[in-house]
Structure 1
C-alpha cells in the first residue's frame, strides 16, 4: 500500500520464522495465551498470526495490503507491531492507534522502532522521519515519546513492557494485576494427588508467603482435595507442620515485596484497595494494620529513592553485587536479593522505559538516577564474558541509550565474576578460585589494561598463562607472542 508521499509501506513487512519480539514479550507476560483471542492490526505477511495459532492461540490479523479482506474483530489482546513507524502523517498515526485501541477488549500492545536504530536506517531526513532508498518511511520513536503518545491518545496510564513495547490496558485493574505479577511472585503450588500431599502444598505456601492461603487462591484440584476439612482444622494441621522461623522469614519477604509493589504502583498510578489482585489484598491484611499504613510506608520508600546518601548506604549494605566508585553491579540471579529501595530503583526504570528481554548484569548509579541492563550472553560458560549490548535509562528525563558491541573487535569483558553473584550461588566458588589464581599470576597488576579483549589477551601472554574453561594454566610453549597475535601491539 502506497503512502500519501509516495512511500511503499508494504515493503517494510518482513518475513519471520517465529514470533516478533513484541508478540513474544506479550506471550511471556501472559497477555497473549491459549484461551484468549488475539488480533494483529497491520499484520504484514501474517507471521505472528501463524505462530500464535501454532501455539493454540485464537489469532486473527488484518493488513491493508496482504490481508485487506480480513475482518477487523474485537479481541482480548490487539497487536500494533511496527506499524506507527511507517506512517508519514502524524494524524494518520494517531487515527491508526485509536482504531487498534477500539478493537482491544483487554490490552493493546504497541511497538515501534526506536531512535537508537537510526544507523540501521539508510536514507534522507524527511518530515519527522527518514525516507529510505527503498521508498519506505520510518519515524523512529524515543522510548518516552512512544509511551507518552500512546497514553495521550488512549487516555489511560501505560506500562513499558520492554524497550519499544508499550501496554495500554482497558482497565486500571488489568494494569495493576500486570504490575503485581512482575513484582510479587505468584504462588508455586506443589503437585498433589491426595489429602496428605495437598496439606504439604498448603504448608509450603504458608512458609513461602508467611500466611495461610485462602481457598480462592488455591488451584481447583487442591480445593477439591481439601474441601472436606473445616478451615480451623486445616489451619491447625498447617500450624503443626510449618516451621515458625520459615513463616516469619516468608512474612518478612512478603512485606518487602508488597511495599515494593505499592511504591511502584504509586509511580505508575495507585488504585483503591479493591482494585488490587486478591493475593496482594490478603498480603496487606496479613502484614499491615491497614491499606493506609501500607501505602504510607511505601510512600516513604519512594521518597528515600531520591536521597543519594540513603541509596549509597543501601548499596554499601547490600549483601550482593559489586560496588565501584560510581555504581553497583549485580547479576540477574541475585537481583531479587538487593535491598528493597534498590529493587524499586530498577523497577521504576523498567516500567517507565522498558526492561530488555536479554540482560545479565544490572548497573545502578550512585548519584543521579540511571539504570543500565548489560548483556553478557555467555556469562556462565566464558571465564571472561564479553559485553554484547547495553541499554541505559536516565531517570530524570527518561532518556535512553542502546549500545551494541556485536561488531566490535575489542569488546569490554568481565573479571572477578563471583563478585556479581550472591555468595551462596552454586557457581560462585568456581569463579572465585579462578579469580584467586589470576591474581597470584599477576594478571590484575595493571588493571587499566585488562578491561577489553585485546588488553586481556596481552596480559595473559605477558604472564605466560592461558585459560581452559575456568582453569588458568601455563601457556603452552610455542604459543604466539603479543607481536604475533592479530591486533596486538608488542
Structure 2
C-alpha cells in the first residue's frame, strides 16, 4: 500500500501524461510501462472495486490529494474524440468512492490530445498527434473551457466552418448535404456567431475590409463569411455551385477563393476555378487551401491526386511549395505568401507595390517640435510658434517620407504656402530649430526600406513594372536618381545574401546594435520579431526573402538567421510572456530550395523550454532583471551555461528538477512540497 507522500512523488515523476493544474491523465498501458509500482497500486484499487479491465482505460491521478479516478473510454483508439462512459473516483484517504455514468447522456465529456497520454513510440501515438494538430490548425483549442463536452465541441467545430467525417475535420463547404438531412434555416439562429475564415481575417489585418473595397467570395459555401461581413456593414457577394448556384459572378476588387481548389477532384476543373476567380479579380485574388504532410494524408483512402472520405467527398491536401507552384503555373503570376496555405495574387500592380513597400517600411514616433523660451525670440521663431500645429504636421510628414512632401501628400499644403510661401522655406525654418540630423536619418532609413523592397521584388522574380505609383516614383527620384540605378543597387543587395562573410558581418553588426539578441559566431543569430525592422538592410532582405515563402509572422516570436546554411528558422511559443515559454511551432525555410518545413510540438511533454529568454529581451523591459536572475540560478542548479541553447524537452527539464527536489514557480526556484 502506497503512502500519500509516496503516491504524490510517483505522480510528479511520471514522464508521459496529460498534465492539468490539479491532476494528470494517462492511459493504463502508459502507466504500466513507465511506473510499474504505481500501476500495480492502481490495478489493486480497481480489483478491490471489482472493476474488470475492460471497464476502465484511463486513470486520473490527483497532484495534491490522495485520490484517483478510473475512467472508461471504450473507443479511445477508434474515435478521434472518444466519449467518457463511466468514472469511478476513489478518495484513498477517506476510503470513499463515487461512480458517475455517462453512457445514456447525450452530452458526455470527451477527450482531446490523446497522444499526451501515450508513450511516444505507441503505434497509435502519431495518428493521435495528427488529430490534435488538425484541431490546432483549425483554431479549435483557442478557448479550452468550451471543448470539454460533446455538444459544445461539435458546435465549436461547426462555428469554425468544419465538420467531422471519419473522425477528421473537413471544411463544411466541401461537403454535400446528405439526402436524408433536412435543410436548416440558419437565418433563424440569430444568436449564433460565426468567426471569419483565415483568408478573411488576413484581409482584415491588412486593411482590405474597411469598406473601401468590393468583395466577391468565389465558392462561398453556405455563406458564413458573407453573413459576418454583412453584420459589420461590409457589402460582399458570393457564389457556390452547391449552395448558391444562382448567384451572379460579379467582378470585384477583392476575390476570395477560400479552400475551394482542394475539394475539386478533376485537375482541369480545379485549374478552371482558379482562372475564373482570377478573371473576376480587379485588384487582388486571395487563394487558400488546406496543408498536410504525407503521414496525415496516409490516414485516408487515396483517390486521383488526393483522398476520398466515407461521404464520398474529395480532398486534395497541399504543401506550401506545391500550392505556390500551382498558382504560379496556372496564372503566370508570382503569388505572395501571407500565411501557411494562404497566398495573395495582385492584378493591380500598383497596389501590389504599395503593399510590398509598406511591408518593409519602418514607422517611427518622431518627437514633437520643441519650443524656445518666449523671451527674445526672432520673427521666424514667432512664426513657428504661432503656427506650431501646422509646422509640426508638416515636419512629421516630411520625416515619414524622408523627403519634402508633394502637394497631394500633405493635406494642409495650401495653408502652409499662405503662411510661409513654399514647403522648402518651411523646411529651412524648421531646421533652424531642429537641425538636419533627424531628416538625414529619416532619409537614410527610407532609402534602406526602398532598397529592401526592391531587392525582395527581384528575389520573387517579379516583373519590373513601368507604371509605378506616384509616391514610389518620387521616392526613387529623390533617393536613387532613377529607376535603373535603384534596381542596380537593390540587385547588389539581393546577391549579397549568398555571401556568408557578409551575412556573418551583418549578424555581428546587428548583435552589437540591437536591444537584445543571441549570436553564435559562425552559426546563427537569434532575435525577437519585434526587432526585425532594426536589422541591417542585408539581413532584412535575407529574412524577408524567407518570410515571403512562409507568410506573416503573426504566431511567430523568434527568428533565427543561419549564417552558413542559407536557412531561416521561425519559432512560435505557447506564451512568450511566461518566464519559461515552450516551443509549439518551428518553421525551417530553405532559401536555395525555396522550400518550407513545418514542425509542430503538439506533444506537450516534448516541447522544448526557452531557458535563455533574457538574452532576447530589451534591457528596459520590466521583467528583464528578474528573468536574468532566474536563468542564472537555474543554470547554476543544472550546471550548464544557459546563454547557449540547451537541448532539453519539457519533461526532461522537469525530471532533472524533480531529481534535485526543485520546481520553478514564476520567477522563483523553490523546493517541491511533499
Q: With the length of structure 2 as denominator, give the TM-score of the two structures.
A: 0.63
Cα distance change on mapping 1:54 and 1:346 into 2, 3 Å: farther
SS at match of 1:304: helix
Q: Which residue of the partner structure matches residue 492 of structure 2?
A: 300
Q: Shift of the alpha carbon at 1:76?
A: 0.7
CA contact (8 A) 2:254 2:283 kept: yes
The reply on whether 1:402 has 2:402 as its aligned counterpart is no
Q: Shift of the alpha carbon at 1:42?
A: 0.5
400-409 or 203-212: which moved more?
Answer: 203-212
Q: Which residue of the partner structure matches residue 197 of structure 1?
A: 389
403-412 or 34-43: which moved more?
Answer: 403-412
Q: Shift of the alpha carbon at 1:464?
A: 4.9
Measured in 2, the distance between the counterparts of 1:122 and 1:274 equals 50
1:332-343 paired onto structure 2 within 5 Å: 332-343=529-540
Measured in 2, the distance between the counterparts of 1:428 and 1:276 equals 45
Query: What is the root-mean-square deviation in Å for CA atoms of aligned residues?
Result: 3.2
Q: Which residue of the partner structure matches residue 6 of structure 2?
A: none
The reply on whether 1:210 has 2:406 as its aligned counterpart is no
34-43 or 172-181: which moved more?
Answer: 172-181
Cα distance change on mapping 1:98 and 1:210 into 2, 3 Å: closer
Cα deviation digits, residues 195-224 of structure 1 (max 9, x gap): 422321222343455333233223x4x447
Q: Which residue of the partner structure matches residue 447 of structure 2?
A: 255
Unaligned runs of 5+ in 2: 1-169, 178-191, 370-385
- Please, which of 615, 631, 635 is the counterpart of residue 439 of structure 1? 635
Q: Which residue of the partner structure matches residue 434 of structure 2?
A: 242
Measured in 2, the distance between the counterparts of 1:450 and 1:272 equals 45
251-260 or 286-295: which moved more?
Answer: 286-295
CA contact (8 A) 1:143 1:400 kept: yes
SS at match of 1:333: helix
440-449 or 44-53: which moved more?
Answer: 440-449
Q: Which residue of the partner structure matches residue 276 of structure 1?
A: 468
Measured in 2, the distance between the counterparts of 1:50 and 1:241 equals 55
Cα distance change on mapping 1:394 and 1:257 into 2, 3 Å: same
Q: Shift of the alpha carbon at 1:34?
A: 1.0
Q: Which residue of the partner structure matches residue 558 of structure 2?
A: 361
Cα distance change on mapping 1:197 and 1:399 into 2, 3 Å: same
Measured in 1, the distance between the counterparts of 2:222 and 2:634 equals 53
Work out the number of aligned pairs and report it: 467
- Please, which of 313, 320, 323 is the counterpart of residue 143 of structure 1? 320
Q: Which residue of the partner structure matches residue 161 of structure 1?
A: 338
SS at match of 1:275: coil
12-21 or 256-265: which moved more?
Answer: 12-21
The reply on whether 1:390 has 2:599 as its aligned counterpart is no
Cα distance change on mapping 1:264 and 1:16 into 2, 3 Å: farther
Q: Which residue of the partner structure matches residue 456 of structure 1?
A: 653
Measured in 2, the distance between the counterparts of 1:187 and 1:215 equals 22
Q: Shift of the alpha carbon at 1:424?
A: 5.3
- Please, which of 110, 115, 140 is the counterpart of residue 287 of structure 2? 110
Q: Which residue of the partner structure matches residue 219 of structure 2?
A: 42
1:302-321 paired onto structure 2 within 5 Å: 302-319=494-511, 320=514, 321=517
Measured in 1, the distance between the counterparts of 2:566 and 2:335 equals 21
Q: Shift of the alpha carbon at 1:108?
A: 0.8
Measured in 1, the distance between the counterparts of 2:368 and 2:262 equals 47
Q: Which residue of the partner structure matches residue 170 of structure 1?
A: 347
CA contact (8 A) 2:608 2:649 kept: yes
Q: Shift of the alpha carbon at 1:116?
A: 3.1
Measured in 1, the distance between the counterparts of 2:482 and 2:278 equals 37
264-273 or 325-334: which moved more?
Answer: 264-273
1:2-151 paired onto structure 2 within 5 Å: 10-12=173-175, 17-116=194-293, 119=296, 122-151=299-328
CA contact (8 A) 1:465 1:472 kept: no
Higher Cα radius of gyration = 2
Unaligned runs of 5+ in 1: 1-6, 480-490
CA contact (8 A) 2:284 2:346 kept: yes
Q: Which residue of the partner structure matches residue 477 of structure 2?
A: 285
Q: Which residue of the partner structure matches residue 228 of structure 1?
A: 418
Cα distance change on mapping 1:291 and 1:143 into 2, 3 Å: same
Measured in 2, the distance between the counterparts of 1:19 and 1:211 equals 40
Q: Shift of the alpha carbon at 1:179?
A: 0.9
Cα deviation digits, residues 377-404 of structure 1 (max 9, x gap): 4111x11101111222212222222122
Measured in 1, the distance between the counterparts of 2:657 and 2:560 equals 28
Q: Shift of the alpha carbon at 1:32?
A: 3.7
Cα distance change on mapping 1:167 and 1:121 into 2, 3 Å: farther
Q: With the length of structure 1 as denominator, give the TM-score of the two structures.
A: 0.85
Q: Which residue of the partner structure matches residue 472 of structure 1?
A: 668
Measured in 2, the distance between the counterparts of 1:288 and 1:10 equals 50
Measured in 2, the distance between the counterparts of 1:437 and 1:110 equals 50
Q: Shift of the alpha carbon at 1:40?
A: 0.5
443-452 or 24-33: which moved more?
Answer: 443-452
Q: Shift of the alpha carbon at 1:39?
A: 0.7
Measured in 2, the distance between the counterparts of 1:287 and 1:426 equals 39
CA contact (8 A) 2:362 2:533 kept: no
347-356 or 357-366: which moved more?
Answer: 347-356
